[in-house]
């Protein structure tokens, strides 16, 4: 365990996930003496890269970037520290019958590829992209600003509410209506309005279920679809990139940036309590008994840990405690990561391998996804899961030895609560299920496997600390977003404890490697300090 | 009819796009993959291979070769020892730049010089009574640039002595059975090598390099990716960032080395080495008559994003270089220069440009306004003056 250099800091950030790092970097940049305290032996939380087999680098949990706010890249000068998002030149969606959808960087070729599946879907695809980009452009400012507090009578908040209402009124009716349809409806309804190809719909609908206990036909999946499209890579909405060295490469960049601004990071130092005196935070206590003092303590953990574990819930208003207790986590995602002896073979494409240079989406139809969901509803995991495969080693040679590959497979659905078993018993069965599914699409896949790592929802909870393995630190459901994330009235990064703040993915805007919670929380902290006001 | 390079059979089968362009009379790939940006990342994160054969190449030999070049080239060739290379320029009598190129000193009296355009008659007319021979060897030699962080591993796997060759050095070597010359040079601003090979052996060298690069993410890259890399590297391009003084119609289209930011080549101006343009350049320095200073620009991202967002548009981030002039203004809307190469840089995550500004504005950190069109109207966006190169990884020279 590394030691803090001081006994008192201006600010202590609990948790060195990417949001904790972003938050700490901004606070340090503003001149606060800042300590970031991480429980594990490495920073990054759900965004780490590990060498699990010599020469093979695994993105254990998250594996691609898109939501990251561009202003953070600039303000934290990340390119100086090695920030490098690598283009995914293709995106591949195998079908059940040997057919496939292979999209690339040439717009007109993509249109032709879509029209191979359905002539009608060709220009519908352009229309869809355009419509959803318009909604993204309209909604984007919401990601980059502290949301107003709906329940406050503070004049500043009333002005913010009025401004928000005005922003919405200024939108073209079609854009606003599409936004509402996405924010409240199902992805299936939205997509059905455009497309007839099942393969295309399955491919697009896959973004509507990631990390969330919904099927594409559930109301609410539209929100998840929108969320996964509102990110951008080099100015293109909905475009994803691999960070050099995986998402762990990215969090290492963040750590270097934070340190360059003067933040200190200590590892292997679990925080047990946020200390308070008379309703004011005074510092943190570590598991080994060390106490470190600070004026500001920021929790980068999920809301349940922030409110129910690090502090004594009895110090909090009971309606807040109640809201946090019923905040939905219910993780449904898992990972199975492989070291491979070569690239999988998709028979229709013969010996080609260039189709694997981005995501490979095993979700060949809306029905497939919905059926995969059915099993999760009843407390189990999908017998034919949705799989988002990513073989970063096809474009980033640092990930695996020459000729070998690492394949990250994001799996859904795997219900955190199993009906009549437990994850320690089911771990390898889940791995086998995934492998069997992959064998179905890529005959001989299993023969390529050199190493397999199965990450169950329970592992996500145990290793990263994300409650119930929810990858976003709390479900993306309308009643848990914006005004209500993580609880009504507590959506502005403050807590009822003076000097105690929250900045994890359980705060607005939410999960994904986006950094916005960390940044926006730092703004709030700095604003409160400037006002010299108490946090409430 | 256009020509093809000795690598053409491989280039042709590797080019998946059907997009070609013409460069110095040769057919060359604009890009090989649908995504030129993917090729660009091979240069920045793996290893890329570029066929630069079309560059004009001159072999300059003879007892007086060094003396000759020291009078013709502005940069002192005497400082370039055998086994070294120089990036260099040649100027006219008025101190304007004619062209630039790389000269490899293969032996005491043997040089290989590259240029973008033909220069043979120009050089030959300067020989006079010197014992110098100049031969154009463009067609005899194929040139393959192998560039990127993994280039050392790939090249050293074929020619182990490349493990230790230093920046801007050159050695004779072998790749397979083919005799080659390999220099630690390139036009990408990254770690990189250029392999010079007899045309007859070109294909075998291509094949061996590609084989050695297997698993290292090796990709051939085309013109677009090269241009992206060279702008980040702050490397000048004839007819984009400057024009040859030989063919310019007036001085507005001519540039001096000082104006192009190449003053560092002329540290020995006060020594007694006569070279073409020396007197004029000394005058320019003494009287401070330089009109411009070449600089890098980094566009203010916030300004840029807000300008487009306010216009109801998504801020475009297009990495394909635009070789057009963009006007530069000061805060009083007075014209203070122009940008010549503009692009969005993926590794810097900013819009960048190579530009020239009035010398008094060239200090790094100065702000100028760059003119762009938004919604069919001229708008100005802030940009910071920075030193070139804009991107300069340590591995380039390490
Ligand atoms: C399997 C998986 C796949 C994903 N894929 C993607 C993807 O491809 N792209 C994407 O954008 N998003 C993805 N996500 C979501 C994204 O990774 C997360 O939303 C995000 O990384 C969470 O970041 P955070 O900083 O808010 O929290 P975390 O990353 O959870 O960080 C919290 C940190 O706090 C530490 N900690 C916990 N308790 C304590 C304590 N008591 N004391 C000190 N430290 C403590 C933890 O060790 C951890 O480092 C994925 C998530 C998972 C789990």
DSSP string, A257-301: HHHHTT-EEE-S--EEEEEEETTEEEEEEETTS-EEEEEEEEE-S
Q: In this predicted structure, what is the pLDDT of residue B156?
A: 98
Specify if A135 maps to a domain. yes
Q: How many domains does chain A have?
A: 2
Ligand 1 atom closest to Cα of residue A309: 41
Classify domain B293-395 by CATH architecture.
Beta Barrel (2.40)
Do the beta carbons of residue A370 and residue A202 sit within 8 Å? no
Structural domain ending residue among the three candidates A178, A203, A236:
A236
Choose which residue among A24, A42, A47 to substitute to test ligand 1 binding: the one with the highest number of ligand atoms within 8 A of its C-beta. A47
The count of C-alpha atoms lying within 13 angstroms of the C-alpha of A49, restricted to the half-sphere facing its C-beta, is 25
Specify if A346 maps to a domain. no
Q: What are the Cα distances from residue A69, in Å, to A40, A212, B41?
A: 26, 22, 22
Q: Express each pLDDT in A158-189 by its tens digit.
A: 999 999 999 999 999 999 999 999 999 999 99
Q: What average pLDDT does the structure give for chain A?
A: 97
Q: In this predicted structure, what is the pLDDT of residue A1?
A: 56
Do A293 and A268 share a structural domain?
yes
- A534 pLDDT exceeds 60? no
Instruction: Tell which of A70, A234, A404, A406 to mutate to test the B interface (max B CBs under 10 Å).
Output: A234
- Subunit contact A70:B34, Cβ cutoff 8 A: no
The count of C-alpha atoms lying within 13 angstroms of the C-alpha of B319, restricted to the half-sphere facing its C-beta, is 26
Angle, helix A246-260 to helix A18-29, in steps of 10 degrees = 20
Hey, is the C-beta of B310 within 8 angstroms of any chain A C-beta? Answer: no
pTM over 0.90: yes
Do the beta carbons of residue A339 and residue A440 sit within 8 Å? no
What residues contact residue B316 under an 8 Å CB cut-off, 6+ apart? Answer: A235, B308, B344
B8-52+139-221, what's its fold?
Gyrase A; domain 2 (3.30.1360)
- A475 pLDDT exceeds 50? yes
Classify domain B56-137+256-287 by CATH architecture.
2-Layer Sandwich (3.30)
**Helix, strand or coil, per DSSP, at residue B199:** helix
Specify if A376 maps to a domain. no
What percentage of chain A carries pLDDT values higher than 70? 99
Structural domain ending residue among the three candidates A197, A212, A236:
A236
Choose which residue among A230, A474, A513 to substitute to test ligand 1 binding: the one with the highest number of ligand atoms within 8 A of its C-beta. A513
Q: Which domain holds residue A172?
A: 116-236
Angle at A199 between CA A196 and CA A203, to 5 degrees: 110
CA distance A220 to B266: 68
Q: Express each pLDDT in A334-344 by its tens digit.
A: 999 999 999 99
Q: Is B326 exposed, middle or buried (0-12, 13-18, 19+ CB in 10 A)?
A: buried
Specify if A421 maps to a domain. no
Peptide bond between residue B250 and the one before it cis (omega within 30 degrees of 0): no
Specify if A527 maps to a domain. yes
Identify the band that residue A533 occupies on the pLDDT scale cut at 50, 70 and 90. low
Specify if A464 maps to a domain. no
Average pLDDT, integer, range A240-255: 98
CA distance A66 to A233: 6
Do A222 and A147 share a structural domain?
yes
Q: In this predicted structure, what is the pLDDT of residue A314?
A: 94
Hey, is the C-beta of B216 within 8 angstroms of any chain A C-beta? Answer: yes
Q: List, as ranges, residues 35-64 from B with C-beta within 8 Å of A.
A: 35, 37-38, 41, 44-46
Do A28 and A134 share a structural domain?
no
CA distance A175 to B155: 54
CA distance B209 to B229: 21
Do the beta carbons of residue A505 and residue A169 sit within 8 Å? no
What percentage of chain A carries pLDDT values higher than 90? 98
Specify if A386 maps to a domain. no
Angle, helix B202-213 to helix B151-158, in steps of 10 degrees = 120
What residues contact residue B160 under an 8 Å CB cut-off, 6+ apart? Answer: none
Specify if A174 maps to a domain. yes
- Subunit contact B46:A397, Cβ cutoff 8 A: yes
- A535 pLDDT exceeds 50? no
Identify the band that residue A2 occupies on the pLDDT scale cut at 50, 70 and 90. confident
Nearest to A488 by CA among A289, A303, A247, A254: A303
Q: Is A12 exposed, middle or buried (0-12, 13-18, 19+ CB in 10 A)?
A: buried
Do A212 and A121 share a structural domain?
yes
Domain boundaries, chain B: 8-52+139-221, 56-137+256-287, 293-395
Contacts with B311 from chain A: Cβ below 8 Å:
none
ipTM of the complex: 0.95
Do A513 and A481 share a structural domain?
yes
Q: For ligand 1, say whether the CB of A504 is within 6 Å of any of its atoms.
A: yes
- Subunit contact B216:A397, Cβ cutoff 8 A: yes
| Residue in A71, A235, A395 closest to B317 by CB | A235
CA B381 to chain centre: 27
Hey, is the C-beta of B18 within 8 angstroms of any chain A C-beta? Answer: no
Hey, is the C-beta of B348 within 8 angstroms of any chain A C-beta? Answer: yes
What residues contact residue A139 under an 8 Å CB cut-off, 6+ apart? Answer: A179, A226, A230
- Subunit contact A87:B35, Cβ cutoff 8 A: yes
- Subunit contact B46:A396, Cβ cutoff 8 A: yes
Structural domain ending residue among the three candidates A205, A220, A236:
A236
pLDDT less than 70: residues of chain B: none
The chain B residue lying nearest A83, using CA atoms, is: B347
Hey, is the C-beta of B118 within 8 angstroms of any chain A C-beta? Answer: no
CA distance A267 to A250: 18
| DSSP tag of A305 | I
Contacts with B214 from chain A: Cβ below 8 Å:
402-403
């Amino acid at each position: 365990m590394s030691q803090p250099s001081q006994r008192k800091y201006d600010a202590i950030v609990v948790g060195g996930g990417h949001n904790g790092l972003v938050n700490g970097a901004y606070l340090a940049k503003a001149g606060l003496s800042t300590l970031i305290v991480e429980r594990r032996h490495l920073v990054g939380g759900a965004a780490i890269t590990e060498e699990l087999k010599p020469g093979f680098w695994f993105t254990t949990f998250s594996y691609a970037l898109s939501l990251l706010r561009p202003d953070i890249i600039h303000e934290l000068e990340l390119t100086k520290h090695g920030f490098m998002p690598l283009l995914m030149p293709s995106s591949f969606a195998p079908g059940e019958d040997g057919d496939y959808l292979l999209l690339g960087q040439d717009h007109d070729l993509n249109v032709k590829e879509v029209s191979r599946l359905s002539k009608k879907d060709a220009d519908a695809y352009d229309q869809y992209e355009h419509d959803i980009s318009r909604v993204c452009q309209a909604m984007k400012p919401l990601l980059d600003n502290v949301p107003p507090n709906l329940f406050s009578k503070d004049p500043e908040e009333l002005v913010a509410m009025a401004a928000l209402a005005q922003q919405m009124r200024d939108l073209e009716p079609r854009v606003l209506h599409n936004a509402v349809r996405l924010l409240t409806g199902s992805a299936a309804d939205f997509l059905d309005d455009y497309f007839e190809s099942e393969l295309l719909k399955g491919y697009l609908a896959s973004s509507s279920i990631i990390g969330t206990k919904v099927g594409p036909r559930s109301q609410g999946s539209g929100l998840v679809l929108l969320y996964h499209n509102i990110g951008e890579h080099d100015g293109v909405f909905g475009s994803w990139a691999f960070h050099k060295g995986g998402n762990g490469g990215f969090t290492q960049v963040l750590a270097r940036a934070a340190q360059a601004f003067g933040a200190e990071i200590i590892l292997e130092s679990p925080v047990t309590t946020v200390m308070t005196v008379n309703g004011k935070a005074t510092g943190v206590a570590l598991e080994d008994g060390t106490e470190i003092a600070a004026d500001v303590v920021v929790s980068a953990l999920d809301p349940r840990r922030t409110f129910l574990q690090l502090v004594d819930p009895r110090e909090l208003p009971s309606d807040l405690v109640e809201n946090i207790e019923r905040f939905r986590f219910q993780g449904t995602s898992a990972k199975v990561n492989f070291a491979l002896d070569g690239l999988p073979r998709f028979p229709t494409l013969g010996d080609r391998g260039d189709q694997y240079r981005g995501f490979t989406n095993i979700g060949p139809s809306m029905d497939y996804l919905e059926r995969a969901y059915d099993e999760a509803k009843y407390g189990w995991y999908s017998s034919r899961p949705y799989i988002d495969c990513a073989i970063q080693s096809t474009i980033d040679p640092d990930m695996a030895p020459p000729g070998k590959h690492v394949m990250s497979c994001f799996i859904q659905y795997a219900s955190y609560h199993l009906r009549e078993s437990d994850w320690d018993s089911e771990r390898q069965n889940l791995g086998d299920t995934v492998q069997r599914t992959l064998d179905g699409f890529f005959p001989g896949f299993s023969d390529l496997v050199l190493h397999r790592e199965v990450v169950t929802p329970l592992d996500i909870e145990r290793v990263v600390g994300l409650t119930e393995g929810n990858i976003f630190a709390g479900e993306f459901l309308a009643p848990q977003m914006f005004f209500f994330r993580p609880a009504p009235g507590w959506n502005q990064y403050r807590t009822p404890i003076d000097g105690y703040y929250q900045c994890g993915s359980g705060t607005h805007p939410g999960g994904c490697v986006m950094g916005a919670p960390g940044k926006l929380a730092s703004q709030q902290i700095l604003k409160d300090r400037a006002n010299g006001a108490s946090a409430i | 009819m256009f020509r093809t390079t000795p690598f053409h059979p491989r280039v042709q089968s590797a080019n998946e796009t059907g997009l070609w362009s013409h460069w110095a009379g040769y057919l060359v790939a604009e890009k090989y993959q649908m995504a030129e940006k993917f090729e660009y990342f091979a240069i920045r994160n793996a290893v890329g291979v570029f066929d630069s054969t079309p560059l004009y190449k001159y072999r300059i030999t003879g007892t007086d070769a060094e003396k000759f070049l020291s009078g013709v080239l502005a940069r002192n060739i005497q400082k370039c020892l055998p086994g070294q290379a120089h990036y260099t320029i040649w100027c006219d009598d008025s101190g304007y730049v004619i062209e630039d190129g790389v000269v490899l000193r293969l032996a005491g009296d043997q040089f290989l010089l590259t240029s973008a355009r033909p220069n043979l008659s120009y050089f030959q007319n300067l020989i006079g009574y010197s014992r110098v021979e100049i031969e154009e060897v463009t067609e005899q030699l194929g040139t393959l640039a192998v560039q990127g962080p993994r280039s050392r591993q790939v090249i050293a796997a074929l020619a182990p002595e490349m493990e230790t060759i230093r920046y801007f050095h050159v050695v004779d070597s072998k790749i397979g059975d083919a005799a080659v010359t390999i220099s630690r040079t390139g036009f990408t601003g990254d770690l990189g090598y250029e392999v010079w090979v007899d045309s007859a052996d070109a294909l075998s060298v291509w094949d061996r390099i590609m084989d050695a690069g297997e698993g290292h993410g090796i990709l051939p890259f085309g013109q677009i990716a090269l241009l992206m890399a060279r702008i980040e590297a702050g490397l000048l391009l004839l007819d984009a960032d400057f024009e040859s003084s030989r063919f310019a119609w007036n001085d507005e289209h001519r540039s001096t080395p000082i104006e192009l930011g190449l003053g560092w080549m002329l540290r020995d101006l006060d020594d007694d080495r006569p070279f073409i343009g020396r007197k004029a350049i000394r005058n320019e320095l003494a009287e401070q008559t330089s009109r411009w200073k070449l600089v890098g620009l980094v566009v203010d991202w916030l300004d840029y994003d807000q300008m487009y967002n306010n216009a109801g548009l998504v801020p475009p981030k297009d990495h394909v270089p635009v070789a057009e002039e963009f006007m530069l203004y000061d805060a009083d809307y007075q014209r203070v220069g122009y940008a010549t190469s503009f692009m969005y840089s993926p590794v810097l995550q900013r819009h960048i440009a190579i530009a020239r500004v009035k010398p008094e504005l060239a200090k790094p950190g100065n702000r100028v306004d760059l003119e762009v069109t938004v919604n069919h109207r001229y708008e100005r966006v802030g940009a910071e003056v920075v030193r070139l190169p804009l991107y300069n990884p340590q591995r380039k020279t390490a």
